[in-house]
């Protein structure tokens, strides 16, 4: 009996890890930073250095390069993810970074990744203000 249940769990556990095709599954749980760049080393260094602040603000980031997507997202990405993000959020060639709020709306588009500025914008958002008040109360 337990062997049968274990087999079912293994099958569904491996099949249940759906690939992320777009950002809809992250809505209301995460803020998103999308970065498009040919050479990601500077952006990656900046994002990794700010890891604690990123986690505190519930940010998932994606760095889109011509050959791969680098991210702090723990799940799998669909093969079409990068193309979908480029076609949806990077229609204007001068934009290299996009901030998307938990509500799914674009909050800022800029020519380069500027984390201090993006953190400033996030910290002014009503939802973030509520999160900060709750964290002070210990919720």
pLDDT digit string (tens) for 52-107? 999 999 999 999 999 999 999 999 999 999 999 999 999 877 789 999 999 999 99
Higher pLDDT pick, 134 / 137: 134
Tell me which residue has tokens 């603000």: 57
- CB-based contacts of 112, cutoff 8 Å, min separation 6: 96, 97
The reply to whether 8 falls in a domain is no
Cα angle value 55/135/57 (rounded, 5°): 25
The reply to whether 5 falls in a domain is no
Q: At residue 1, does pLDDT exceed 80? A: no
The reply to whether 79 falls in a domain is yes
The reply to whether 2 falls in a domain is no
Higher pLDDT pick, 48 / 10: 48
The reply to whether 119 falls in a domain is yes
The reply to whether 90 falls in a domain is yes
Tokens of 83: 């193309």
Domain that holds residue 53: 18-137
CA atoms within 13 A on the CB side of 96: 12
Q: At residue 12, does pLDDT exceed 80? A: no
The reply to whether 3 falls in a domain is no
The CATH number of whichever domain residue 28 belongs to comes to 3.40.30.10
Question: What is the count of structural domains for the chain?
Answer: 1
The reply to whether 125 falls in a domain is yes
């Amino acid at each position: 009996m337990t062997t049968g249940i274990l087999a079912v769990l293994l099958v569904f556990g491996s099949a249940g890890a759906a690939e992320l095709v777009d950002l809809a599954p992250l809505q209301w749980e995460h803020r998103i930073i999308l970065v498009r760049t040919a050479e990601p080393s500077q952006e990656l260094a900046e994002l990794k250095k700010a890891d604690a602040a990123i986690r505190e603000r519930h940010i998932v980031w994606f760095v889109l390069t011509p050959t791969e997507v680098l991210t702090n997202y723990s799940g799998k990405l669909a093969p079409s993810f990068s193309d979908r993000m480029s076609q949806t959020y990077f229609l204007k060639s001068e934009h290299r970074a996009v901030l998307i709020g938990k509500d799914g709306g674009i909050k800022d588009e800029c020519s380069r990744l500027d984390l201090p500025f993006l953190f400033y914008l996030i910290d002014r958002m009503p939802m973030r203000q509520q999160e900060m008040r709750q964290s002070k109360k210990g919720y």
